[in-house]
Amino acid sequence: MKNTQTLYPLTFHPIPKEKIWGGTKLKKLLNKPFSGNHIGESWEISDVGNDCSVVKNGPLAGSTLRDLMQRYPKEIVGEEVYKKFKHHFPLLIKFIDARENLSVQLHPDDEIAKKRHNSYGKTEMWYIMQADDDSRIIIDFNEQISKDVYLKHLKNESLPTILNAEKVKTGDCYIIHPGLIHAIGKGVLLTEIQQTSDVTYRVYDWNRPDINGEKRELHTALALDAIDFSKTSNYKLAYTKKENDSVRMEQNKYFTTNYLYLTQAKEVSYTTVESFIIYICVEGKCEILCKKTKEKVALNTGQTALIPAQCETVFIETNKCVLLEVTI
């Protein structure tokens, strides 16, 4: 017998990740229910390994995202997305608080990740939610370099001298393609949209010990043929802010992200999108109503909702909020 559950806007319990570089902004600025002073990440929507999101609201509360993807995959992600990803939810949504610099790292593409790790690769997007004075990110090299020059700097522990550091502020947005060397700098709070993958190649970690006094593992050999040495400049995303309208920020084969700045209520139809929608509230607050089921969820800054494809049309009620609107 076919399941006939009518789906509704879903929220999930955030999954905390303690990191040596983590801090307290997720708790203090985003009101996450976390204890501890070194929480670096809050996984908001995840179907990665043992870190599978659990529904927080409504009659499906307590169900895992993976369970729902087995029972109602087409209703959640839409027919076209299901054809490509089957029962796997294709995106991972995080908030990240860098009290200290993250390691310098990169991610493999789909081909390498599949061959080595039986995983998807990782294309990711960053939206800066808050940054302390003079906070920076590392992104790409600061000059065209060869593999030999890179290895020489690794050996000499001078890699930071050839990395490009950029000062950031609230609203800045970056696309991190596989192979692009990068690191989130201290003082930065951001939201990250990415493929469902947790494969990272760490190449430099500032010579710091972990909580046990040991240095963390580096992935020098694995990273070598995954690094993009081509020196690109198309990683910072330019977008406009149009009041009460959806503005395209990024579109690639893995996800599309729009910027939605609302100062009044708005009805949004997704009948032609054939995808789920993820709303990430990065400023203000709102209520999102599924017109089909009459179910609603409230979102404050730092909260996320998954709108199943089955919902089709939503009504967003707010006086002021900024939402990142993510689809496939």
Which residue is associated with the tokens 């049309």? Answer: 313
Q: pTM score, two decimals?
A: 0.96
* Among the listed residues 286, 261, 257, the one whose alpha carbon sits nearest the alpha carbon of residue 192: 257
User: For residue range 205-262, what is the model confidence (pLDDT) as tens digits?
Assistant: 998 887 777 889 999 999 999 999 988 778 999 999 999 999 999 999 999 999 999 9
- Active site positions, annotated: 202
| Token duo for residue 154 | 């690794």
- In eight-state DSSP terms, residue 7 is P
User: For residue range 70-115, what is the model confidence (pLDDT) as tens digits?
Assistant: 999 999 999 999 999 999 999 999 999 999 999 999 999 999 999 9
Measured CA to CA, the distance from residue 201 to residue 311 in angstroms comes to 38
235 compared with 1, residue with greater pLDDT: 235
Measured CA to CA, the distance from residue 303 to residue 163 in angstroms comes to 33
Alpha helices in the chain (DSSP H): 25-28, 65-71, 73-77, 79-85, 110-117, 147-155, 220-224
